[in-house]
Amino acid sequence: MKQAARLVRAAGRTVFCDAVTARLTRLNATVCEDGATLARQVDLVLVFGGDGTMLRIAREIAGSPTPMLGVNIGGLGFLTAVPSDQLSAALKRVWRGEFKFEKRALIEATAQRDGRQIRRAALNDIVISRGVVSRLIELDVDVDGDPLTRYRGDGLIVSSPTGSTAYSLAAGSAVVFPTADVFALTPICPHTLSNRSLILPLNATIRVQAISPKPTTILSADGEVVSELEAGEVVTIRRSRRTVRLMHLSDSSFFEALRRKLHWRGAYL
């Protein structure tokens, strides 16, 4: 991060950072209270870490027109555009205007719990799943008021296009182009083998009702637990009105990222 600050200053620009980063890194920079405040003050947000860090910052600054550029110092990193060892070259290209933007949709879940409304946004996915007990749960699902099915299994993933390469992919769903306007509904270890991932329009409203009193049913967003759900409680999932903007270098390609990160090599004859 200190290297990045030096590169930014060397290019004649000003360095800002959020309060947590300033405290952890002792970075000499103009300090903003949080990510949302930071995004209002700058032209570009550099995010250092893996996809988990990108997801957290995306939720903090959702709705802001300020783009994010992810610098990968984590693992797989589908959301991070630049490897950390290529940061200097990447920033030089940014200063020359060799970049493009992608707008990514967020999704959100709402539920009533103990007389209060819970609302949580996610860039990757909303997941309704069993707790630590290894027993099936049951979930009734309808789409735009039309009953779909009752899932019996370990849970259900409702993925955004961005999240198709995350938990949804591990559960056997399709890879979705990240700017496609679709949801992917993917059951987790379904008891009925004919239950398959379902692709829905992103303007659909998905209603999931918890049926099982035991074991505990858990609602989570981007991997963070939001709440437990009692039998009969309903989660409504729809497209959020907020989006985030990601910056990529001009020659970047989603398909190239798939080949590289998922080790797609094709057949050798």
Predicted pLDDT of residue 233: 94
**Cβ–Cβ < 8 Å for 245, 103:** yes
Which CATH number describes the domain made up of 106-241? 2.60.200.30
The class (CATH top level) of 2-104+244-261 is alpha beta
**Cβ–Cβ < 8 Å for 3, 87:** yes
Kindly give the residue spans of alpha helices, DSSP state H, lying in 104-200.
Answer: 167-170
- Catalytic residue, from 18, 51, 125, 222: name it: 51
pLDDT along the chain (269 residues), means of 10: 89 93 88 94 94 93 95 82 91 94 95 90 96 89 97 96 94 94 96 92 97 89 94 96 94 89 72
Q: Identify whether 34 is a catalytic site residue.
A: no
Predicted pLDDT of residue 28: 85
Predicted pLDDT of residue 265: 77
Q: What is the rounded distance in angstroms from the CA atom of residue 106 to the CA atom of residue 151?
A: 24
Q: What's the pTM?
A: 0.91
Predicted pLDDT of residue 268: 57
Residue 170: CA count within 13 A, CB half-sphere: 7
Would the CATH topology of 2-104+244-261 be identical to that of 106-241?
A: no
Extents of the domains making up the chain: 2-104+244-261, 106-241
Question: SS3 of 241, please?
Answer: strand
Predicted pLDDT of residue 164: 95
